[in-house]
A and B are shown apart, each in its own frame.
Chain A
Amino acid sequence: MISTFVALSLGQVDPWIAICSLATVFVTVFMGFWSATKSKSAGDFFVAGRSVSVGWNASAISGEYLSAASFMGVAGMVMATGYDALWYPVCYACGYLFLLLFIAGPLRRFGAYTIPDFAEGRYDSPLFRKIAVCFVLFIGFFYTMPQMKGAGTTLAYIFPGLPYWAGVVVVGAVITLNVSLGGMKGITLVQAFQYWLKMFAIAVPIFILASIVGFYHTHLGANKTAFEATANPAHVERLALPAKAPKDEQWIAPFGKLTTKAVDASLAAAKTPEAKAELEAERRPYSLLYTYSLIIALVCGTAGLPHILVRFYTNPDGVAAKRTTMWVMILIGIFYVFPPIYGVIGRSLTPHLYDAVGAKGTDKVVLELPTLLAGKDHALLGSILSGITCAGAFAAFMSTFSGLLVSMTGALAHDVYGRILKPDSTPEQRLRAFKWAAVLIGAVSILLGMQVEALEINFMVGQAFAIAAASYFPLLFMSVWWRGMTMPGAAAGMLGGGLAALVAITLTSISDVAAAGAKKITDASQLAAYWADHSLAKVLADTWVAHPLARILCEQPAIWAVPLSITLMLVVSKSTAAKIPGDIRMKMLVLHAPEALGLKQEYIKEHEGLGH
């Protein structure tokens, strides 16, 4: 079936784009297979034997971190909404600082394999481990969805006849196969390679492109601010913006379309002039609130993403973990300067993307922009550069999805199978379990990814971060720095904050997906029937219109969910103070004492001669 689609669309496929993309896939798969011959033991599969050097590990973390959201989503979002979208790359990069300041060192010293290991070790509670495992899987699935959207969008771009869902299936299947064969050791190598591929793929095309069509500042300068009487003299070529595109002064200034969406929707529905005036007055304060909530979600969420945290255990010691974080910040900081440039130039030169929706919308500006050179007598160069950005996009969603798959599969195989279902399983059985868990999780991710074509890549990642910010971040932060935490307190805070954020976010997504479906229907009677089928979404959409503040707080829940989680932890821990682990001082020493003191205890001991 897929081959039919490929055959149908092959006539329009640019050979350079197809070659670069296929090369990326083959190199990734080859490296996975090649390293599979080297990783034999269960330890190799889970955390790469804990001996990856700082340079490799920093590149690998960066490679894993720079997802489809960073590579394609940030550019698309900057193009679609302007200044406010810049918070995403900034906080993606800067959230790492929080990880470094409060969590990276202690967690590494504690020496547990995974977050569930840490949860169990810190509170001596197997029950809490099970709860933590469920959360690893939960947050992970929220983060796989945007990667799948990236895959579907890119394949639909390369093969214009291929439907979105087919792209999701093909890419998901390839990565799942790769992970189930290579494990984490393969992934470290592949991730590191992919960081440098992505860096090359985002930086080189934009330099060449900008030297021909004009640089970042000239394109940005062509957008008029609200305080400039006339438009700037056009130094660069600019195509007319369609009606759907935000106006210059709104796009370039803070508190634009992204943060005022909820109030604008209410304004459109408001009937009396008084109601309109009231909403106008609320617009800017609400935007500020939205911005702060977004910042909290992204900064704290970074510090709580399970697939990032697990990598700290692949450092040989705590000092190396800190140095690794420093390098990660430099590597991803440099990278994040580039995607907004695509968004800015895309606004000038590819405004037709504003009119498209789903996989054909602004999310593909990174892929589309280089092909403009074809119209400027650089046809071959345009194809090659577009091929390079496609390769980068492949590297982006493949590496992040691989990393997620490893951490989620690890949780399933190591915890659910190895600890709960079959504690006496042999190493061979566990390896087999790892492979099957990878297939299972890959399949679920593909199914989920097929549902989210209507949602922006970057927006979905922001939501995964909000859930992580309200669950894992408080758990890790409080467990590391507060001796008085008890297991019930930790569980109540993590579940309370995380689930509250999850529910709030799901409510907004349900109404957004339904609204996107409604937009495709033009006939009024069919529309009524459609909304009757989606009554919950209808109720939600009406609620958002009546109460824009509620919509903002549900869409960006971090501002209330993080304090809620921490408060729950404090209150419940205080009231169950008798349950503080007896050897809490020892645990705190292991978390905080310098490793030179020789206090470092490997929490989980690997027995000699087993698993090799």
Chain B
Amino acid sequence: MRSIAISKGAAWLRTPMSESNPNSPQSEAFLARLMRDQLRLSIACALCFAIALVALPLLNYLAPEFMAQRVAGFTLTWLILGVLFFPFVWVISFVFIKRSIALEEAEAAAAPQTNQR
């Protein structure tokens, strides 16, 4: 059995004093910086991925003969899409997870100690 309890946050979040401190989680500056940094990281990683997704069909379209050359029995484009694409995505996600966890630690460290658990 559960009921909705919309949280309004801890008391310190509502104190107007912390509004002006740019390191306080309450401040507009903190939230804007937080979202900007996270979104920048995500978009950078997404771009690497998106470029590959856009480029491969385009290469198939513009340079069919080049993409059809044989590499160990596979055609080049089959090898890329059927096999090599997976490790490529693992690399992007590994980099993202490392950076994103580091980012969170830096953010947590930047906020005043009293706010931490």
Contact = CB atoms under 8 A, between A and B. Distances in A.
B2 A596 contact: no
B51 to A, nearest CB: 13
A252 B90 CA distance: 26
Contact of B83 (A295, A337, A606): A337
B96 A101 contact: yes
B81 to A, nearest CB: 5
B116 A596 contact: yes
Contacts of B83: 337
Dominant SS at the A interface? helix
B46 A226 contact: no
Contact of A599 (B9, B57, B61, B70): B9
A81 B53 CA distance: 20
Nearest to B4: A604
Contact of B2 (A218, A318, A322, A604): A604
A192 B14 CA distance: 44
Interface in A314-345: 318-319, 322-323, 325-326, 329-330, 333-334, 336-337, 340
A337 B82 contact: yes
Interface in A156-189: none
A484 to B, nearest CB: 13
Given A83-B81, A100-B97, A597-B116, A42 B89 contact: no
A330 B35 contact: no
B39 interface: yes
Contacts of B4: 120, 603-604
A512 B91 CA distance: 40
Dominant SS at the B interface? helix
B60 A254 contact: yes
A598 interface: yes
Contacts of A120: 4
B117 A596 contact: yes
A101 B104 contact: no
B90 A329 contact: yes
- List 5 A-B pairs, minimum CB-CB distance, nearest first: A217-B73, A221-B73, A333-B86, A596-B108, A594-B104
21 contacts: A86-B82, A94-B89, A97-B45, A100-B97, A124-B6, A217-B72, A221-B74, A225-B75, A252-B75, A295-B57, A326-B93, A329-B90, A333-B90, A588-B31, A589-B9, A595-B104, A597-B108, A604-B2, A604-B3, A606-B2, A607-B1
